[in-house]
C-alpha cells in the first residue's frame, strides 16, 4: 500500500515544540523565531529561504545531547539555566559572571563545587556536541546538506570567537546568521541586538531588523503564519517512520540511561503487533507511537531521570505527566493525532493503576496494551540510576507477574516476549564502519559517558589501550563527541541487538 505524502513543515512545526520545552522555553518559541527569520530573509533578498526556514525552526535540534553533562557541571537545576545561557554572551566577562551567579542555586554547600566545575570546564566540547548532533539529525531528516551545515555552524559568531570552527563574517552560512538574530529578537527584543552587532551578530542582518517584525506575534495565529511562510514548493514526506525515529533519537539522547529506549520499544511493539495480526494501518500507528511515546520526557529535568534514589513527590508529579506532554506535542499535528492518543497511554494499566489518566481495561486498545508491555520490558532490560538492567529471564518474570496482578494484558505480554526472544544475545550482527566486536563494546560504554579509565577497568585492558580504541572509533565513525557517538550507536541499532 503506497504511503500518502504529507507536508513536512506541519509535522516539524508540531515537533519543534519538543525543542522549545527541552530548552525550558515557552512553546512556539521556535516557530515564532522561524517567522521572524523569514521576514528578515525577505528584507535581505535571500534566495535560499528554505534553508533559513528549517535552520531556524530546528535550531535546537541538538539540545538534548549535553543535558547529562550540564547536570554534572551546573547541578540538578541545570535545565533552568538554559534560557539564561541562550541569551548570554560568553565572551562578555560581565554576562558570564551573571551566569555563574545562577549556577548551583538550591544545591546548598555543593553550590561552590558546581561553580568551580563550570568555571574549569571547557565549553567547546559541550557546544560542539550540540552542533554536531543537530547537524546529524538534520541529515537523518533528509533536509539536505545546506540545512545540516547551517545547524553545525549554530554557535559561530560574526567576530570569529564562536564554535566549532571559529568561522567569522560571511564565512558563516547566511541562514545561521539570520536564525541567530531572529531567535535573539524573539527572546530578548531589539536592544540586545544593537549591543551585539558586529561581535556576536551579523551587523548587516541586525540593520534590517526592527521591532515591527515581532510586534504582531501575540495577535496573529503564528502557527498558520509560519506554515504560510514556508517557501514553495512545499517539502513533503511519506516516511513518517524515519521522522519519528529522528525525534526518538533526540529524546533518548537526554540521558545515557535512555539510549536506544524508544527505538527498542518500537522494535518490540512492531513485531508483537505482527504476531497478533494487527492490521497494517494500526501496526504503523503503533510503531510511530512507540518511537514518539517519550517526547514528554524533555519536560522533566535530566537530574530527575538520573536520580539514584527514590523520587521526591514533586519530581514524581513531573514524571507522571510526561505521557500527557507527549500527547500535547503530537496532537498539534493533524497527521499525528492518532499517534498522540496512543502514545499517551504507554503507562496506563488494565486495573487503572497506571498514569496519568488511570484508564482501565475497556478503555485500552490492543495497540495500547502492546505499547505498555513493550515499554515495560525495554525499560527493565536497560540500566537505570537506581538499579542494573534485568536479565531477559528476569524481565520476563516481572512482566508475567504484572499479568497475574491484572495490570498488563497476557496475550500482549506473550507477544512482546516472543518478539524479544528473537533478539538472542551474541548472535551475528552487522558491524558498521568496520568496527570490531571489541570496538562495539567500547562504543556502547563511550556512548553512556563512561570515562576512558572506567572503560579500561570494564574491559580489563590498559588505559592507554582504551584511549586508543576510543580515538580509533571516533575516526572510523566520523564524529568527535560522546553525544554524537551515542547518536551513531542508536542509528545503527547497537543498543537493540
Among the CATH numbers 2.60.40.420, 3.50.50.60, 3.40.50.1000, 1.10.3210.10, which is that of 240-421? 1.10.3210.10
Q: State the pLDDT at residue 422.
A: 53
pLDDT in tens, 459-473: 988 999 999 999 999
Q: Could you tell me which of 189, 188, 173, 160 has the C-alpha nearest to residue 59?
A: 173
What is the Cα–Cα distance from 287 to 410, expressed in whole angstroms? 20
Among the CATH numbers 1.20.1050.10, 1.10.1200.10, 1.10.3210.10, 1.10.150.120, which is that of 6-63+126-237? 1.10.3210.10
Q: Is the pTM of this model over 0.75?
A: yes
Is 269 within 8 Å of 374 (Cβ atoms)? yes
DSSP states of 186-243: HHH-HHHHHHHBTTTB-HHHHHT--GGGTTTTTTS-HHHHHHHTSPSSPPEES-HHHH
The mean predicted confidence, pLDDT, of the chain is 93
> Residue 497: pLDDT band by 50, 70, 90 thresholds?
low
Task: Find the largest Cα–Cα distance for the chain.
Answer: 68
Give residue for cell 566486536. 437
DSSP states of 61-73: TTGGGGHHHHHHH
pLDDT in tens, 235-281: 888 899 999 999 999 999 999 999 999 999 999 999 999 999 999 99
DSSP category for residue 90: T
Among the CATH numbers 3.90.550.10, 3.30.420.10, 3.90.1300.10, 1.10.10.10, which is that of 432-491? 1.10.10.10
Contacts for 357 with CB less than 8 Å, ≥ 6 apart: 344, 345, 348
Topology agreement, domain 6-63+126-237 and domain 240-421: yes
Q: Give domain limits for the chain.
A: 6-63+126-237, 240-421, 432-491
pLDDT in tens, 68-94: 999 999 999 999 999 999 999 988 999
> Residue 430: pLDDT band by 50, 70, 90 thresholds?
low
Amino acid at each position: 500500500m503506497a504511503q500518502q505524502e504529507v507536508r513536512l513543515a506541519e509535522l516539524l512545526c508540531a515537533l519543534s515544540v519538543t525543542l522549545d520545552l527541552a530548552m525550558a522555553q515557552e512553546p512556539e518559541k521556535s516557530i515564532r523565531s522561524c517567522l521572524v527569520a523569514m521576514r528578515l530573509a525577505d528584507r535581505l533578498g535571500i534566495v535560499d529561504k528554505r534553508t533559513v526556514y528549517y535552520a531556524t525552526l530546528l535550531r535546537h535540534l541538538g539540545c538534548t545531547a549535553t543535558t547529562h553533562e550540564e547536570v554534572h557541571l551546573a547541578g540538578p537545576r541545570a535545565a533552568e539555566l538554559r534560557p539564561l545561557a541562550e541569551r548570554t554572551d560568553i565572551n562578555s566577562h560581565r554576562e558570564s559572571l551573571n551566569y555563574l551567579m545562577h549556577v548551583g542555586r538550591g544545591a546548598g554547600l555543593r553550590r561552590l563545587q558546581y561553580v568551580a566545575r563550570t568555571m574549569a570546564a571547557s565549553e567547546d566540547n559541550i557546544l560542539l556536541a550540540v552542533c554536531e548532533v543537530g547537524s546529524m539529525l538534520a541529515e537523518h531528516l533528509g533536509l539536505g546538506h545546506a540545512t545540516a551545515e547551517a545547524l553545525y555552524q549554530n554557535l559561530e559568531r560574526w567576530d570569529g570567537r564562536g564554535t566549532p570552527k571559529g568561522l567569522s563574517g560571511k564565512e558563516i552560512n547566511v541562514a545561521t546568521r539570520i536564525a541567530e538574530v531572529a531567535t535573539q529578537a524573539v527572546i530578548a527584543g531589539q536592544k540586545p541586538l544593537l549591543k551585539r552587532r558586529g561581535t556576536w551578530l551579523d551587523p548587516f542582518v541586525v540593520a534590517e531588523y526592527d521591532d515591527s517584525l515581532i510586534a504582531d506575534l501575540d495577535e496573529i495565529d503564528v502557527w498558520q503564519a509560519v506554515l504560510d511562510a514556508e517557501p514553495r514548493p512545499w517539502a513533503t514526506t511519506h516516511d513518517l517512520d524515519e521522522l519519528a525515529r529522528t525525534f526518538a533519537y533526540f529524546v533518548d539522547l537526554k540521558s545515557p540511561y535512555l539510549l536506544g529506549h524508544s527505538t527498542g520499544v518500537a522494535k518490540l511493539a512492531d513485531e508483537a503487533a505482527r504476531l497478533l495480526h494487527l492490521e497494517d494501518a494500526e501496526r504503523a500507528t503503533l510503531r510511530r507511537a512507540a518511537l514518539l511515546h517519550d517526547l514528554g520526557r524533555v519536560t522533566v529535568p535530566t537530574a530527575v531521570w538520573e536520580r539514584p534514589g527514590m523520587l521526591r513527590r514533586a519530581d514524581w508529579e513531573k514524571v507522571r505527566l510526561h505521557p500527557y506532554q507527549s500527547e500535547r506535542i503530537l496532537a498539534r499535528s493533524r497527521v499525528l493525532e492518532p499517534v498522540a492518543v496512543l502514545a499517551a497511554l504507554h503507562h496506563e494499566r488494565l486495573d487503572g493503576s497506571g498514569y496519568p489518566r488511570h484508564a482501565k481495561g475497556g478503555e485500552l486498545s490492543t495497540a495500547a496494551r502492546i505499547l505498555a508491555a513493550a515499554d515495560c520490558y525495554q525499560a527493565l532490560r536497560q540500566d537505570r540510576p537506581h538499579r542494573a538492567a534485568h536479565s531477559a529471564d528476569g524481565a520476563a518474570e516481572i512482566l508475567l507477574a504484572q499479568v497475574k496482578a491484572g495490570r498488563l494484558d497476557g496475550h500482549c505480554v506473550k507477544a512482546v516476549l516472543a518478539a524479544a526472544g528473537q533478539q538472542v544475545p551474541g548472535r551475528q550482527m552487522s558491524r558498521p564502519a568496520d568496527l570490531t566486536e571489541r570496538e562495539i563494546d567500547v562504543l556502547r560504554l563511550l556512548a553512556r559517558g563512561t570515562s576512558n579509565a572506567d572503560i579500561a577497568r570494564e574491559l580489563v585492558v590498559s588505559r592507554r589501550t582504551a584511549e586508543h580504541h576510543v580515538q580509533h572509533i571516533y575516526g572510523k565513525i566520523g564524529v568527535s563527541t560522546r553525544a554524537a557517538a551515542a547518536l551513531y550507536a542508536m542509528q545503527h541499532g547497537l543498543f537493540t541487538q
